[in-house]
Structure 1
């Protein structure tokens, strides 16, 4: 099968600061597999690099050369080791080809109802309190996810709540708090009406999560959730998990994680990296299965080269075209 790819620099609408650092741009690798499209998000703090993505794609090119002419047969040829983001990109392309061959969008082939897609949150990157308040006010989105994880977090939360008393607010520390900080701020988050707290502590400190859980604010795990086994292992410590295609390795692994989380009584938020409509559109086909959505990647980018996934405020309108339903802008 013909497999091509290109590296692309995503220009961000605003500086994107989280506990792991600040970005003005992000890197994506776009995949074209016989006309099926996919996207690999190159996120260094997830261990991804252009070199790792390229190495995986080179291996895939060889393994798909004589693969069976079926979706399942091709999926079984994908290497189990290596870049998860690259695997996700190739898998997106394979599902895109499958849907195009059947002339139907993936959500329809999966038997899902697009009316059940939850509203997406809009991410407000970490910054000075007034800067975050201005971004929250300007966006006027009903659901906000605030990035925190350093000094002055309480001032940031207070400023955003004052600017948007009507908003639903979620908080994501990207593992940037200590247990002491988390216990100190938890009553303040409850007072400010925060819905849930995402990855407050480093992933390796599960005992601290056990101490924090059950104190009135649901906890979600994000960074450590990459496999079904991770969902099972984290179930005793959190109330929900964040599932992302780039971490999971694609649509099918992400769906397996969602189903496992459901079986264990966990809530699910379907998320994304800073990605274009291509990768976020692929994830959106699974959104009817989630309790919460954080699929705002295209809203954070100035130069998204794809079309097909539309936003009506916080509502996602799932692609209507066959396969992923996402195409390059012309």
Structure 2
């Protein structure tokens, strides 16, 4: 099989601020796997959490080094390819780009969208949340009002963990609530920005505000503090930065209520499947999230969305120049279409990377 890679830069309509900083642009990688006249597409998006930051330059170098080593494989060899990538200690975002491309190739080969190939029910897909970054109360209100001008808002994720402290968090959330649709589900993501004491205090205050759940209240590395918070919190706790793959789930099962699966962390759709079933076996809820992903990756995650209790796949909706079109918004839900594979097309009609090289 032949593999091609093209970097592309996307710009957010509104920069997103979380407890760790602000992001306005991202340079991602478009990966194309070609075999038997069929091209499968995948994406690698950079992110900074974990033992090694997965920077665009590092991801690109790994992919370019892998291209000749993978030329003798075919898309039918997914298990062998997975073993090879694990042995090569390939970063998870690189594995994701290849795994998603191979799934896209298979769906196109058999002429079925992935959700149908897997026998899933799109009617089970719940609303995807729109994200409000850390800002002033006035800016947070305006951001939600802007979201309501562009899509149906049935779920809202508010980023807290402000460096200014929990009083600032509370003021911002109250401002968002003042303009939120009455029936919208609100959740909180602190991105590890609170101490244990702050997390306990905020969990009780947020419960009084009718919040649905709290995501990643404590920083990655503080998992030993989660049992105490688990006992004290009246709200369900989800982890994101603390959970990368299925191997992380059993040791978290006694201290959280759910996990956030992101394709870039997990290594692709294959590992996302394992995480779904491991989490369910451990009695945990499931959500899907994203980084600065385009419609390509969010569409890939949307094919597994019928399994999710909560969804946060809105990053592409905040891009000014997303090069891809895939899953569509329907009544606040991100729904994969009926086209084979991922059902993703290039916005400008491009179907090959060759003329970009």
Same fold (TM over 0.5): yes
| Counterpart for residue 324 of structure 1 | 342
| Counterpart for residue 284 of structure 2 | 266
Q: 1:240-285 deviations in whole A, cap 9, x for unaligned?
A: 0001110000001011001000000000001111211101111111
| Counterpart for residue 190 of structure 1 | 207
Which secondary structure does the structure 1 equivalent of 2:104 belong to?
helix
**Within 2, Cα distance between the matches of 1:99 and 1:302?**
29
**Within 2, Cα distance between the matches of 1:204 and 1:246?**
20
Asked whether the 8 Å contact 2:75–2:105 carries over to 1, the reply is no
**Within 1, Cα distance between the matches of 2:305 and 2:246?**
18
The offset of 1:196, in angstroms, is 0.2
| Counterpart for residue 158 of structure 2 | 146
Candidates 20, 37, 40, aligned match of 1:36: 40
| Counterpart for residue 311 of structure 1 | 329
Pair 318,165 (structure 1): closer, same or farther in 2 beyond 3 Å: closer
Which secondary structure does the structure 2 equivalent of 1:42 belong to?
coil
Asked whether the 8 Å contact 1:68–1:74 carries over to 2, the reply is no
Pair 306,78 (structure 1): closer, same or farther in 2 beyond 3 Å: farther
Pair 97,129 (structure 1): closer, same or farther in 2 beyond 3 Å: same
| Counterpart for residue 171 of structure 2 | 155
Asked whether the 8 Å contact 1:75–1:91 carries over to 2, the reply is no
Q: 1:112-145 deviations in whole A, cap 9, x for unaligned?
A: 1111111111111111111111212332312100
| Counterpart for residue 133 of structure 1 | 141
Which range moves more in the overlay, 133-142 or 262-271?
133-142
**Within 1, Cα distance between the matches of 2:42 and 2:75?**
19
The offset of 1:90, in angstroms, is 0.8
Q: Which runs of 5+ in 1 are unaligned?
A: none
The offset of 1:186, in angstroms, is 1.8
Q: Which runs of 4+ in 1 moved over 4 A?
A: none
| Counterpart for residue 352 of structure 2 | none
Pair 173,73 (structure 1): closer, same or farther in 2 beyond 3 Å: closer
Candidates 85, 92, 100, aligned match of 1:84: 92
**Within 1, Cα distance between the matches of 2:138 and 2:226?**
31
| Counterpart for residue 176 of structure 1 | 193
Asked whether the 8 Å contact 1:227–1:253 carries over to 2, the reply is yes
**Within 2, Cα distance between the matches of 1:88 and 1:37?**
11
Q: TM-score, normalised by structure 1?
A: 0.96
Task: State whether structure 2 residue 68 is matched by structure 1 residue 52.
Answer: no
Q: Which runs of 5+ in 2 are unaligned?
A: 349-357
**Within 2, Cα distance between the matches of 1:217 and 1:165?**
21
Aligned length: 330
| Counterpart for residue 351 of structure 2 | none
